C-alpha cells in the first residue's frame, strides 16, 4: 500500500512563499492498494492536480472516494476533478451522511449547479455509486475494497466526521482528521477509544491543527486537535509512524516545522518510539 499527499492544509487553501515546503492545497490523499485499487481520501483542492495526473495515465479509471465529512476544505476540489467528466470512468463514493434522509452524495452535489457552479453534479458523465458507511448511523461493519478491509469510527467534530482504517496484508493506514481528541462534549469519544481503534497502526495520519496555547486560549470546541494530543494518542496506541495533518492556514512552514520538532520531543518524553513527520504535498509513504 502506498499513500501520497496531494493536499494537507485545513480550513482554506493558502499560497505564497511562506507555504512552499508543506503546500497550500486543502485535503486530499491518494492511496494505492497492493491489489491495484485506487482510493482517494477527501476531495479538497488537492484532488485537482491528482485528477490531472490520473488523466495522463490515459486509461479507464475505477476510483473509490472516501469522504470524512462535507466541510468545504474536504469537498471543494471535486467540481474540478477532471476524471469525473469522462463517461467511461466510475467513482464509488463512501461516507456518513450524518443527517437521517440524506446521502453521501449531498456532500458533493450541494456545491454544484444552482448559483454555485455551472455544472450540476447529476450531469457529470462518470458513473457514480454511493456507500453510506458509518459507525454513527448504525452501519458499522467493515467494507472490503480489493483485498483491503476498511473500518471506520466517528470523530469529535461539529456536524460529524469519520475516520478510516485501511488494512491490507496486515499493514494498517489510519486517516483520522477533523477530530478533537480533547473534546469536552458530553457525548465525545474518549482518547482511550481512539487509541484502541489505532492500536499498533503502521501509519496514523491525524489532525494536528493547533498548538496547545492556541487551543487553551481560543480554539477549544472547534473540532480539531493539538500536536500534543496527537503525540499522546500515538504513544498510547503504540503506532509506528505519526503524520501531522490538516495544517492551520495561519501556520507557515516555520510554524509547522516548530510544531513537528515539539511533537518529536513529546513522543520521546512519553516513551514512544514512533517516527513522526508533518504531511506535505507530494510526500509518499509506502507500507
Quote the least distance from Cβ 77 to Zn ion, whole Å.
13
- Number of Cβ within a 10 Å radius of residue 130: 17
Is there binding between residue 42 and Zn ion (CB under 5 A)?
Answer: no
| Residues 76 to 135 in contact with Zn ion, rule: CB under 5 A | none
| Residues 163 to 202 in contact with Zn ion, rule: CB under 5 A | 178
Complex with Zn ion: residue 6 or 264, whichever CB lies closer: 6
Is there binding between residue 71 and Zn ion (CB under 5 A)?
Answer: yes
> By C-alpha distance, which of 61, 59, 60, 51 is closest to 30?
51
Quote the least distance from Cβ 26 to Zn ion, whole Å.
7
174, 242 Cβ separation under 8 angstroms: no
The footprint of Zn ion on this chain (CB under 5 A) covers a number of residues equal to: 4
Please list, in sequence order, all residues whose beta carbon lies within 8 angstroms of the beta carbon of residue 205, skipping any fewer than 6 positions away.
3, 29, 173, 174, 175, 176, 177, 243, 245, 279
Binding window for Zn ion (CB under 5 A); candidates: 4-12, 104-112, 125-133, 234-242:
4-12
Complex with Zn ion: residue 74 or 264, whichever CB lies closer: 74
Complex with Zn ion: residue 107 or 168, whichever CB lies closer: 107
Binding window for Zn ion (CB under 5 A); candidates: 7-15, 30-38, 116-124, 146-154:
7-15
Is there binding between residue 248 and Zn ion (CB under 5 A)?
Answer: no
Q: Give backbone dihedrals phi and psi of 268, rounded to 5 degrees, phi first.
A: -60, -45
Give CA–CA dist 73/116, Å, rounded.
16
Complex with Zn ion: residue 69 or 264, whichever CB lies closer: 69
20: Cα within 13 Å, side-chain hemisphere = 3
Quote the least distance from Cβ 87 to Zn ion, whole Å.
31
Quote the least distance from Cβ 283 to Zn ion, whole Å.
19
Is there binding between residue 73 and Zn ion (CB under 5 A)?
Answer: yes
Give CA–CA dist 78/155, Å, rounded.
23
Binding window for Zn ion (CB under 5 A); candidates: 5-13, 124-132, 138-146, 226-234:
5-13
**CA triple 193-196-199, angle to 5 deg:** 150
Complex with Zn ion: residue 10 or 13, whichever CB lies closer: 10
Quote the least distance from Cβ 221 to Zn ion, whole Å.
13
Radius of gyration of the chain (CA): 18
Q: Which residue is nearest to Zn ion (CB)?
A: 71
Element (H, E) at 207: strand 203-207
Give the 3-state secondary structure of residue 237: helix
Binds Zn ion (CB under 5 A): choice among 10, 70, 79, 97: 10
Complex with Zn ion: residue 48 or 71, whichever CB lies closer: 71
122, 79 Cβ separation under 8 angstroms: no
Instruction: Give the footprint of Zn ion on this chain (CB under 5 A).
Output: 10, 71, 73, 178
Amino acid at each position: 500500500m502506498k499513500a501520497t499527499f496531494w493536499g494537507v492544509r485545513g480550513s482554506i487553501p493558502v499560497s505564497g512563499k511562506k507555504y512552499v515546503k508543506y503546500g497550500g492545497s486543502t485535503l486530499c490523499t491518494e492511496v494505492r492498494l497492493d491489489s491495484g485499487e485506487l482510493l482517494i481520501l477527501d476531495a479538497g483542492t488537492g484532488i485537482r492536480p491528482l485528477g490531472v495526473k490520473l488523466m495522463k495515465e490515459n486509461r479507464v479509471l475505477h476510483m473509490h472516494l472516501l469522504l470524512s465529512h462535507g466541510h468545504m476544505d474536504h469537498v471543494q476540489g471535486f467540481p474540478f476533478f477532471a476524471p469525473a467528466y469522462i463517461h467511461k470512468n466510475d467513482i464509488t463514493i463512501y461516507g456518513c451522511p450524518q443527517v437521517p434522509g440524506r446521502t453521501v452524495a449531498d456532500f458533493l452535489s450541494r456545491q454544484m449547479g444552482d448559483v454555485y457552479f455551472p455544472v450540476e453534479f447529476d450531469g457529470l458523465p462518470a458513473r457514480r455509486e454511493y456507500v453510506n458507511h458509518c459507525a454513527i448511523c448504525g452501519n458499522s461493519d467493515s467494507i472490503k475494497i480489493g483485498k483491503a478491509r476498511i473500518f471506520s469510527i466517528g470523530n469529535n467534530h461539529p456536524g460529524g466526521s469519520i475516520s478510516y482504517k485501511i488494512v491490507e496484508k496486515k499493514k494498517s493506514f489510519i486517516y483520522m482528521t477533523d477530530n478533537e481528541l480533547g473534546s469536552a462534549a458530553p457525548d465525545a469519544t474518549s482518547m482511550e477509544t481512539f487509541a484502541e481503534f489505532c492500536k499498533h497502526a503502521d501509519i496514523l495520519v491525524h489532525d494536528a491543527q493547533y498548538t496547545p496555547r492556541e487551543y487553551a486560549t481560543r480554539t477549544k470546541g472547534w473540532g480539531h486537535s493539538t500536536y500534543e494530543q496527537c503525540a499522546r494518542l500515538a504513544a498510547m496506541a503504540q503506532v509506528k509512524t505519526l503524520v501531522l495533518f490538516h495544517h492551520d492556514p495561519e501556520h507557515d512552514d516555520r510554524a509547522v516545522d516548530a510544531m513537528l520538532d515539539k511533537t518529536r520531543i513529546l513522543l520521546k518524553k512519553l516513551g514512544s518510539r514512533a517516527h513522526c513527520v508533518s504531511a506535505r504535498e507530494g510526500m509518499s509513504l509506502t507500507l
